[in-house]
């Protein structure tokens, strides 16, 4: 029974990996990526497929977030246009392909806050500086009328010498009920309903 279960789980993993490779190949074959953007790596991130690539026009690295969920994409896009690129990964472009997928093109960062916390023991001064930066980002989001319901180290990336927020897939308009979807963090939501600087 144990061996059978292991084989079934392995088959599921193989199918998932095959599906991801097939999806990547399909995206790379699209004119969307054969033109301005080239894909260099692909990862599956919840409701999104996240790709890294190069912008042929500017010759800079970019992050491409792809989803088939129009509502989620629209909410995140609206928030990105209202929030400052001093606090979020800079928004460059937005595209829709013939397969009905919605892509957001963002500034690319390859070093996350989770990696920093895992790899380094921070000094008290570094912890204080980092906490002040996170509070600054939260305060900006709140001041613009939004609440981030999934605020965690995985979603912050170092751009130059500045920590910026990448993910807005769980952003809400202030006053909206907290969604029951997996990943939403009630603690962040409750804190942000008040002044986050307190």
* Encoded tokens for 170: 């769980």
d(CA 14, CA 198): 48
* Encoded tokens for 171: 């952003």
Encode pLDDT of 81-105 as tens digits.
Answer: 999 999 999 999 988 877 788 889 9
- Enumerate domains of the chain plus CATH numbers: 2-107 (3.30.200.20), 113-192 (1.10.510.10)
Task: Measure the N-to-C terminal CA separation of the chain; round to a whole number of Å.
Answer: 55
The answer to whether 141 touches 192, Cβ cutoff 8 Å, is yes
Residue 56, CA atoms < 13 Å, CB-side half-sphere: 8
Question: What's the mean per-residue pLDDT of the chain?
Answer: 79
């Amino acid at each position: 029974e144990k061996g059978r279960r292991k084989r079934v789980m392995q088959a599921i993993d193989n199918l998932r990996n095959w599906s991801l490779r097939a999806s990547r190949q399909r995206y790379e074959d699209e004119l969307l990526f054969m033109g301005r953007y080239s894909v260099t790596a692909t990862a599956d991130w919840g409701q999104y497929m996240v790709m890294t690539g190069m912008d042929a026009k500017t010759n800079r690295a970019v992050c491409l977030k792809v989803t088939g969920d129009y509502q989620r994409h629209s909410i995140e896009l609206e928030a990105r246009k209202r929030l400052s690129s001093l606090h979020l990964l800079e928004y460059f472009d937005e595209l829709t392909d013939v397969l009905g997928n919605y892509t957001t093109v963002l500034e690319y960062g390859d070093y996350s806050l989770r990696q920093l916390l895992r790899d380094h023991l921070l000094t008290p001064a570094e912890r204080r500086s980092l906490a002040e930066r996170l509070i600054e980002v939260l305060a900006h989001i709140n001041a613009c009328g939004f609440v981030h319901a999934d605020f965690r180290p995985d979603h912050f990336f170092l751009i130059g010498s500045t920590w910026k927020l990448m993910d807005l897939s769980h952003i809400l308009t202030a006053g909206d009920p907290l969604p029951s979807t997996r990943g939403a963090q009630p603690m962040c939501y409750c804190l942000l309903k008040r002044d986050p600087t307190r």
